[in-house]
Amino acid sequence: MKDLTFGTLIAVFEEIFGAGLFWAMVVIAALVTAAYFYVLIRDRSVSWRKFLLAQLSMPVGAILAILFVQNVTSSSFSDIGGPVDVIVLLGVGVAGAIGMAILVYTVQSLVKGRPGEKEALN
């Protein structure tokens, strides 16, 4: 593998997760991202209260992402062998934390509705 191309990365991820799971994760990530942008455009501002709650969920997302990857790859923490493995593990944790924060913020915004919407209904 001399060149690292986008196609090579997709092939590696399909090999690690399986084609079905990988593409399901891509679709879910795209849907959550689209919903997040919808909420930001709809509300025209960030709710700092929702943002704080989303940030508090980040450690949970990091841990769940690491455990998910460990489970899917049939690895354990004893298989971590060097600095690259630690960097990848930290990267998975960071991605899981960010993903969880976006998911929590989006779900809160979709469930609670627009800011000030309750006052307009009364």
pLDDT of residue 116: 63
Instruction: Give the model's pLDDT for residue 36.
Output: 93
Give the model's pLDDT for residue 90.
94
Residues 6+ apart with CB under 8 A from 115: 43, 45, 47
Cα–Cα nearest to 28, from 102, 105, 116, 121? 102
User: Is the CB of residue 116 less than 8 Å from the CB of residue 47?
Assistant: no
pTM exceeds 0.75, yes or no: yes
Positions of the chain with pLDDT lower than 50, given as ranges: 119-122
pLDDT for 1: 58
Q: Hey, what are 25's tokens?
A: 């994760």
Q: Are 65 and 97 in contact (CB under 8 A)?
A: yes
DSSP state of 115: T
* Closest to 54 (Cα-Cα) out of 118, 122, 7, 111: 111
Contact 63, 32 (CB under 8 A): no
- How do residues 5-38 score in pLDDT, each as one tens digit? 888 889 888 888 889 999 999 999 999 999 999 9
